[in-house]
Structure 1
């Protein structure tokens, strides 16, 4: 693929796999981005990065030229969304979107007038996206998260919101919202799986993408087979810890 058609592929529900970055480590992110992922998402909500870290990560992703750089923004706010897009993100994942009205606000923050409220100051993004507003609007994906009971109740309306390109499951928050004592509580697994089916079907019926975060490549493959159109695998911090632990165990026999 070319990264320029990333938003179009999201809208077309083409199967894609991505990776999640929480560390402010541009060299490591650049190596990850060159492995063949369709996208790499930088987590500005729970990740360990400030704005310079986001900018450095997106620059590192673009340096390889094979993966689209995305940002999970800290909140559904025009400032955070606009800043990430100005830094060069080809898509944003917007957390805690519970209603169609909130989804519409996220869309508006992603688009320039007359279709939205994004302020024009593309800074780095003008080197790769746009810079004409209409082109930028077309090349940027607006993805909203479904991770609460309220969002589940409103998922049909959220998916039908004009300009929403995809919905994205936050499994940890959704598990807790469904009554889980932990983010992976098996006691609510049946209700959780039922919720995933509802979201995937609502997205399919609306003709938009449906994404989900997963702990492994095997889990990502299962979710894609279940009807999700894109899936993100784990994160750099988890894999760093797992790799170090495995080598330590091997070294000690």
Structure 2
């Protein structure tokens, strides 16, 4: 895991654009297909998707089996035990939702860092016991993205981005729209200004600006706006679109 993670860390630090696949389902087959397709990361969604702790190891194995995608997961909430569980399972990047202030950002960092790095993480070599000999991993930790998606988080985004240990921010555009009294998917000046503010804060702090998108067309727009960690497809949505298009073609 270390070599792969350090490669991703170096690529992101160098400014590369990452396009990702979002996994709502627990399909090992789709996880393999997505990784094989060449996505830079594949994210398991434990907040709004169907992934549960018992699914994590088999899904991360599926992602690694067919490609070199950054193995990513979004926790359901900013909880110490859940964040640590994903790190123990060998997840390489963790996305934490609804981070509203510096204290919450620091709590997420502390959940990933061992005491040797100033954190509170408890050592549990789950993935190592499954795959290889146990080693000293005190200096290892996944990448950490915190989500900016509510009014308080937006108001504190500059301070959140400066918290040591935060590797990037990840925007939830729909919830951010609600935060600025807009409707998801509808053009809105306040929403556009909020996106610029978040991306600017990330750039200034030297961390990675990320955002959630529904398809490649939207992802291309966000790339042009300066975002670099961009979900450009979801497994269920992409499969549904492909099914409908293929059926329409078949029916002529």
Partner of 1:124: 127
CA contact (8 A) 2:182 2:191 kept: no
Q: Secondary structure at the match of 1:167?
A: strand
Supply the distance in 2 between the matched residues of 1:141 and 1:53 (Cα, whole angstroms): 21
CA contact (8 A) 2:19 2:39 kept: yes
CA contact (8 A) 1:85 1:125 kept: no
Runs of 5+ consecutive residues of structure 1 not aligned to the other structure: none
Partner of 1:37: 39
**Structure 2 matches for 1:72-91, cutoff 5 A?**
72-91=74-93
Shift of residue 53, structure 1, vs aligned partner: 2.0
Q: Secondary structure at the match of 1:179?
A: coil
Cα deviations by residue, 1:8-50 (Å, 9 ceiling, x for unpaired): 4334443211111110101221111111111111101100122
Supply the distance in 2 between the matched residues of 1:59 and 1:51 (Cα, whole angstroms): 14
Q: State the aligned residue count.
A: 247
Partner of 1:167: 169
Supply the distance in 1 between the matched residues of 2:120 and 2:197 (Cα, whole angstroms): 31
Question: Using a 3 Å threshold, how does the CA distance of structure 1 residues 11 and 106 change in structure 2: closer, same or farther?
Answer: farther
Correspondence for 1:158 among 157, 160, 166: 160
Over aligned residues, Cα RMSD in angstroms?
A: 1.9
Partner of 1:101: 103
Partner of 2:194: 195
Supply the distance in 2 between the matched residues of 1:251 and 1:62 (Cα, whole angstroms): 34
CA contact (8 A) 1:160 1:206 kept: yes
Supply the distance in 1 between the matched residues of 2:175 and 2:30 (Cα, whole angstroms): 27
Pick which of 194-203 and 218-227 moved more: 218-227
Supply the distance in 2 between the matched residues of 1:176 and 1:185 (Cα, whole angstroms): 11
Q: TM-score, normalised to structure 2's length?
A: 0.91
